[in-house]
Chains A and B, each alone.
Chain A
Amino acid sequence: MTPLALLGVISSAIFSGTSLLYTTLGEIVGERSGIVNLGLEGVLLVSAASGFAASAVSGNPYVGVLVAMLAGGLMNLVLGYLVVTRKANQLASGLALMFFGFGLSAWIGRAYVGAKIVGLPRLSLPGLSNLPILYGSLLSFDPLIYLVLPTAVLVWWVLFRTRWGLSLRAVGEAPDTAFAAGRNPGRIRYRALLVGGLLAGVGAAHLSIAYAMNWTEYMTAGRGFIAIALVIFSKWHPLRAIVGALLFSGAVAFQLLLQSSGIQVSPFLLNTVPYLLTLLVLIGWGGRRKYAAPASLGRVYQGTE
C-alpha cells in the first residue's frame, strides 16, 4: 500500500464525501426543526439533473450549482407545503416526494445524458501545485469541497449560537411551547426546509457537476437514504456529521483499494458496515438525552405526530 494509494483513499473519501456531507447538513437543519424528509433521494435527483442541465445549456458550472440549489429548495418547499400547511403525514409525504423526484429528474435529465459539461475548476492548495501531476491531481479540489467544512461549521454556529437556530431547535423539540412563546412554528419550519433544500441542492450539484460530470437516471444511488442514516449516526449534530461522512465514503474508497490489492473482502458486506454501525450507535446511546432525536421528530417516528 503505497503512500499514493493511501492518499488516494483519503482523496476519494473527500471527493465523494462532500456531496454526502452537504446533503446531511441540509437534512440536519430540517430534522432539527422536526421534519424528516424521506424524499431526500428525489430532491437530490431533481437537483442533480437540473444543475447538470443548466451547466450543459449555459456552459457555466456555477450557474448549474445555483440552479441545483434552487431546485433543492423548491422540492423541499413542496414537502413543507404538504407537511406544514396541509398537516399531512410526514413519512408518506416524503415518500411521495421521492417518487416525484424519480420521475421529474428522469424527464429533466433525459435530453442531457452524455452531454459534456465544463466541470467546476479544480484548484490546488497554494504550495502544492509543484507536485507531479499524479499527486497534485489528488489534492486539487473544486471550490465546493473547500467550502464544505466552513459550511458545516456555519451550520453548527447558526443552529447552536444564534437566536434563529435556537428558535428552530425549540420548534423541533416542542412546537406547542414555542408557539406559546410567540414563535411561528410553521414559518420556522418552512425556512428550515428551504435552507435544508438549498444545502441538499449543493450536495447534488457536486455529484453531477463536479465529481461524476455526468447524468444518468437514479444516479444518486441511494445517497439520500445514506444521508438520512448519517443524520442519525451523527446524532443531529453538524460537526459529528463531518466524521460520519468521511467514514461512510472512506469505506467505499477503501474497499476499492482492498479489491486490487488482492484482499478478498466483499464490497457488499463492506457497504453494510456504516448502517450497522449506525444501528449499534443508536442502541448504545439511545437512552441518553443529549444524543436523542429532537423530541417532535421522535413523535414522527412514533406515529403520534
Chain B
Amino acid sequence: MAEPTDRRAPAGPRRILNGGLRYAAMAALAFVLFGVILRLAGKDPLQAYRDIFTSTLGSAYGISEVFVTMTPLLLTALAVALPSRLGLINVGGEGQLYMGALLATWAALRFSHLPSWLLLPMMIVLGMIGGGLWAVPAGYLRAKGIVNETITTLLLNVVAPSIVAFFVFGFWHSPMDTNKTPNFVPAARLPTLFGTRVDLSLVIGVGLLALFWFVMTRTRWGLEMRSIGGNPWASRRNGIPVQRYIVGVMVVAGGLAGLAGMAQVSGYYGVLLANFSRGLGYMGFLVSWLAGGSPLGILVTSFVVAVILTGGNLLQLTRDVPYSVINILLAMTLFVVLARPRFQRRRKTA
C-alpha cells in the first residue's frame, strides 16, 4: 500500500479538520443509505438511529461498552498498520489472534495457582509469542520471495481456529462445558477499570498506538521502514536489511494481534471458546485501511466502528432486526469510503 503520508502537506489543524469533515460526510452518507434500506424493510430509521446512539453514547454504561468493543480493534488494526508501512499486507490478524489466545490460555490453565502479578505478564508475553510465531511463516516466505504474505496469512487464518478447537476438545474441556475451557481463575483475568467491562488492554492498546506513532515518526527504525515501503530496491541498495525488517515486522505485528487474542480470552471472556472471534482480525484490517494506517485515525475509526457494532445490540431488541444486520451499516460506511464520492478528493492510493 503506497504510503500517502510522504506526499501530504505537513500535519496541522487545518488538515485534521478537513479530514474530520470528510469522515463526517461519508458517515452521514452511509447512515442515509442504511436508513433507506431500513425504510424499505418497513422499519423506522430515525428511531433505529436514536436507539443506536442512546444505547451507546447516551449513558455511561453505553460508552463503556463501546470501549470494550473498541479495544481489540485497536490492536488488530495496529497489527495491520505496522506492516503496511513496509508495504506488507497482513490479513492474518484473525489467525494470529487465535494463536495468541491459545498460548495465553495454556498458561492460564497450567499455572492457575500463580498470583496475578506473575501470571498476567506471563500470559501477555505468551500471547504475543503465539501471535508472533504464527506470523513467522508469512514473513519468512515473503522475505525469501516465495509466497505472498497475503496468501500465507489467509491460509493460516483458517488453520488457527482448527488448532484451537483441537486443544479445547482434545485436552481442555470438561464434560460439563460444551465448546470451551473451564473458566479462568481470577488471577488470570485482566483487571477491569472502574467497575465496567473495560479492561487493562484498552490502556495497553492506546499506549501501543502512541509507541507506534513515536517509532514511525521519531526513530531511525521508522525512517528505514518508511523507506522500504516507498522503495524496497533503493533501500536494499542503501544497506537497509530489508529481509530482516520484513520478518521482524511481521512477527511484531503477529504479536500485537496475539495480544488482542490474549486480551479477549483473559479480559473479555474469561474463558477460551472455540471460534470466539467473528472476524475481529478482518475488522482490524478494515479499520487500519480506513484510517490510512495513521495512529490517530485508528483511534477514531475504531471508536466509530465500535459505536456501530455496540449500538446494533439494542436494535435487535427494539426494532426486531437481527443483530447481524448491523454489519450492513458497517459495510455501507466502508462502501462509501471505498467508492470515494466526489466531495472526497483523494489521490489514487492503493
Contact = CB atoms under 8 A, between A and B. Distances in A.
Interface residues of B, number: 52
B150 to A, nearest CB: 4
A69 interface: no
Contacts of B166: 266, 268-269
Contacts of B339: 81-82, 86, 88
Interface in A56-86: 78, 81-82, 86
Contacts of A93: 338
A54 B17 CA distance: 48
Interface string A239-275: 0000000000000000000000000001011011001
Contact of A107 (B146, B283, B324, B338): B324
B155 interface: yes
A60 to B, nearest CB: 25
A97 B323 CA distance: 17
B11 interface: no
For the residues of A in contact with B, the DSSP-based class is helix
A89 B289 contact: yes
A269 B169 CA distance: 11
Contacts of B329: 103
For the residues of B in contact with A, the DSSP-based class is helix
Given A82-B335, A301-B148, A102 B327 contact: yes
B282 A98 contact: yes
A29 to B, nearest CB: 19
A298 interface: yes
Interface string A192-216: 0000000000000000000000000
B147 A88 contact: no
Contacts of A105: 324
A272 B162 contact: yes
B107 interface: no
Contact of A275 (B146, B155, B334, B340): B155
B150 A91 contact: yes
A299 to B, nearest CB: 10
B321 A232 contact: no
Nearest to B147: A282
Contact of A86 (B279, B332, B340): B340
A94 to B, nearest CB: 10
A227 to B, nearest CB: 11
B1 interface: yes
B88 interface: yes
Contact of A92 (B154, B169, B338): B338
A105 B329 CA distance: 13
Which of A82, A229, A276, A301 has its CB near the most chain B CB atoms (within 10 A)? A301
Interface in B287-339: 289, 321-332, 334-335, 338-339
Nearest to B165: A268
Contact of A279 (B91, B155, B322): B155
A268 B163 contact: yes
14 contacts: A82-B339, A93-B338, A103-B324, A228-B154, A266-B169, A269-B162, A269-B166, A271-B162, A279-B156, A282-B151, A283-B147, A303-B89, A303-B150, A304-B87
Given A86-B340, A99-B334, A272-B163, 4 more contacts: A229-B155, A268-B169, A300-B150, A304-B350
Interface of B: 1-2, 41, 87-89, 91, 137, 141, 146-148, 150-152, 154-159, 162-163, 165-166, 169-170, 279, 282-283, 285-286, 289, 321-332, 334-335, 338-340, 348, 350
7 A-B pairs closest in CB distance: A103-B327, A100-B331, A106-B324, A103-B328, A96-B334, A88-B338, A268-B166
